[in-house]
Structure 1
Amino acid sequence: MAVITHVGFNVTAGDGDLTRLEQSLAQIADLGADVAELSLFGHDLIAGGRVIEGRAKALAEICAKFPLRYTAHGQIVSNFMDPVNLDRHKAVAGAMLELCERVGATVLVQHCGSSIIGTAPYRQAVDRMEREALAEMAEIAKGRGVRIAFENIFAVKPDEYRQSPAEIAETVRAVAHPNLVGLIDFGHAYIEGTRLGLDWREEVRTMAQVTGHLHLHDNFGLPYTMSEFFHPSESVALGIGDLHLPLGWGDIPFDDIFAEIDILPGTALIMEIGERFATERAESLDVARRLAATINARGVAAAA
């Protein structure tokens, strides 16, 4: 079995207009990609933790039009370290797992939690709360035929607690559920490594051992020392922040990284490179397929 089984792009989050979703999927299919990652958080598919039936049917009909595999991205704000809203976060995640099953999406992306830094006992308590929620949702995911992919994020405030990639690997191992895997976002790891002074490449190598989903996009590993820009192109010009650039526009050494990581079989490689860079997507797809071939060749050799 190939390690990386399909390569593609995320669907740009819309404003609830499902015709825009169809257009976005058509563009991804026309590029010859294998998979599209649905931005379930951006299409008004859930209200108060419940699936909206009519829109769910429309989503399934649209997805069926294209020769693509599907994964899905959960709520950007989803946070299993939030005790006040935890039940609501879990209800929405459960509804998204239902949507995944209905469209045949095999993965639901779940962002790692966020809290205040607090004391060591406090961090242990929110870590435990998140692990319990992940275990509960992974069991629901098992019944839906979906894997939850737990994604590393970066903090944007000095007093914000986020788990590093290596700590996320610890969480996945502690939950120890077959329907929970890690999701490496290389751009996020680069930014957080710079912010915390970590060896981010070592962090990625550690997380790779439990990883079954990948997010690729480029940046310069610079935290948000500025947060307000008149136009998005200004942040690109400065190289600041989570830029989601075409591969090769930043300075992430993807060739070196893919030569040194080992990940789980059945992994999807998703480029989070939006339609703003439509003219560069084809070139990034070629690069991503070459990177996937590097890992797959190593996997075949190991199995021989």
Structure 2
Amino acid sequence: MVIKTWQGHPHQPFQMGSQAVPNPLRIAGIGANLGGVAGDLDAVRAQMNELIALGAEVVECYASDLGVVADAGLIPGRVAELREICAERPLAVTLHAPIPIDFMDRENIERHRAAARVSVELAAEIGAGIVVIHAGRASPEAWARDADGLLAFERDELSALGDIARDAGLRIALENISPNPAVIAGRLTSYSLDPAALARQLALVDHPGVTGCLDYSHANQGAGLLDLDPVAGARAMAPVTGHIHISEASGRPAIPSIAAQHDWMYFGIGDMHAPLGSGCMDLDALADVSDVLPGTYAILELQRHARAMLGDSLTRLRAFAGHVNALDRAA
């Protein structure tokens, strides 16, 4: 692994120990995820350039889509090209590790560990300050039998990975999951469907290399499934949140007979990844309770046809960030 000493970035105020670059803003920059690039690094260049033209400060890359890792090892030439692409552009970079990583899957934990660790290695190579990983999942039966043991197992894994991340000058951001098709079908469940439960887990982890990733859309969906208040969930998780994902969702669970995510925005179900301003969520109410950690980035997550509304959504996200940052001035 290449271990980097954090040198700062005009839009990337990393805050950890003696390397802290203070920034008084809770939301220090906004941006968006890359759309599907399928390993095409020219597409990475083009999409980053589009974000710069739209005034974004941050880009989030999905690790599995970049085509730079095989068998949990870096592909050197590909990583070198990606590193150059990132270094040449005035964008802070964050990395979303593969969604299937699951620190509650004890049977296959060595594969999950390897995938998580190479994600940290990749992040260090390309100058990413955050690696997003989804919270653990388990079958309802396993959860009912040993919830405390699964949570403790995940904490141990996160602490070990947090050590690696801290030494690399970055952080792990643990994200609340959505009610995905496996959850809807009853095959899996996750404590993180309730962001308040994820906040409690993060408080117990209590590691400088581990923070929370609050996905407002996922929280809205989890609230719809569990009959919770999404604003209360956001309020509970905000104090341990160092990274944000945002898009709009109705809160209605997915329907098994409508299997293609491409159709979910149209039907108003599941993980829609709808553009901001589509009216599915009360963004002002969420901003009111989002006293997230200083230096947090807010990442817009849009997919496919919704990306045609990227510019307008970024404008709305900047207004959301301004609302959050104004909370300190009003206090």
Calculate the TM-score normalised by the size of structure 1.
Answer: 0.94
**CA distance in structure 1 between the partners assigned to 2:157 and 2:139 by the alignment:** 19
- Indicate yes or no: 2:156 matched with 1:127: no
**CA distance in structure 1 between the partners assigned to 2:119 and 2:259 by the alignment:** 33
Counterpart residue number, 2:198:
168
Post-superposition offset of 1:236: 2.2
Counterpart residue number, 1:78:
101
Alignment CA distance shift 1:284-1:235 (3 Å): same
Post-superposition offset of 1:177: 0.4
Alignment CA distance shift 1:231-1:102 (3 Å): closer
Counterpart residue number, 2:3:
none
Instruction: Determine helix, strand or coil for the equivalent of 1:133.
Output: helix
Counterpart residue number, 2:129:
106
- Asked if 1 retains the 8 angstrom alpha-carbon contact of 2:231 and 2:289, the reply is no
Amino acid at match of 1:126: L
Post-superposition offset of 1:221: 0.7
Task: Describe the superposition over 1:69-116 as per-residue Cα deviations: whole angstroms up to 9, x where unpaired.
Answer: 111100111111111221111111111111111111110001011111
Post-superposition offset of 1:154: 2.4
Instruction: Determine helix, strand or coil for the equivalent of 1:72.
Output: strand
Alignment CA distance shift 1:63-1:222 (3 Å): same
- Asked if 1 retains the 8 angstrom alpha-carbon contact of 2:234 and 2:289, the reply is no
Counterpart residue number, 1:191:
221
Matched residues, number: 301
Amino acid at match of 2:124: E
Amino acid at match of 1:148: I
Counterpart residue number, 2:234:
204
Instruction: Determine helix, strand or coil for the equivalent of 2:31.
Output: strand
- Asked if 2 retains the 8 angstrom alpha-carbon contact of 1:226 and 1:240, the reply is no
Instruction: Determine helix, strand or coil for the equivalent of 1:160.
Output: coil
Alignment CA distance shift 1:227-1:100 (3 Å): farther
Structure 2 stretches lacking a partner, 5+ long = 1-23
Amino acid at match of 1:90: R
Post-superposition offset of 1:195: 0.9
Listed as ranges, the matches of 1:8-19 within 5 Å are 8-19=31-42
**CA distance in structure 2 between the partners assigned to 1:43 and 1:99 by the alignment:** 11
Alignment CA distance shift 1:288-1:176 (3 Å): same
Task: Describe the superposition over 1:239-293 as per-residue Cα deviations: whole angstroms up to 9, x where unpaired.
Answer: 1110101101141101111012211111000000135334311111111111111
Tell me the C-alpha RMSD between the 2 structures. 1.7
**CA distance in structure 2 between the partners assigned to 1:178 and 1:21 by the alignment:** 31
**CA distance in structure 1 between the partners assigned to 2:98 and 2:51 by the alignment:** 22
Listed as ranges, the matches of 1:1-304 within 5 Å are 1-118=24-141, 120-155=144-179, 156=183, 157-163=185-191, 164-228=194-258, 232=262, 234-274=263-303, 276-302=305-331
Amino acid at match of 1:82: D
Amino acid at match of 1:21: V
Counterpart residue number, 2:17:
none
- Asked if 2 retains the 8 angstrom alpha-carbon contact of 1:13 and 1:43, the reply is no
**CA distance in structure 1 between the partners assigned to 2:170 and 2:271 by the alignment:** 28
Post-superposition offset of 1:300: 4.0
**CA distance in structure 2 between the partners assigned to 1:262 and 1:181 by the alignment:** 14
- Asked if 1 retains the 8 angstrom alpha-carbon contact of 2:264 and 2:271, the reply is no
**CA distance in structure 2 between the partners assigned to 1:274 and 1:50 by the alignment:** 28
Instruction: Determine helix, strand or coil for the equivalent of 1:149.
Output: strand
Instruction: Determine helix, strand or coil for the equivalent of 1:67.
Output: coil
**CA distance in structure 2 between the partners assigned to 1:243 and 1:112 by the alignment:** 20
**CA distance in structure 2 between the partners assigned to 1:214 and 1:78 by the alignment:** 19
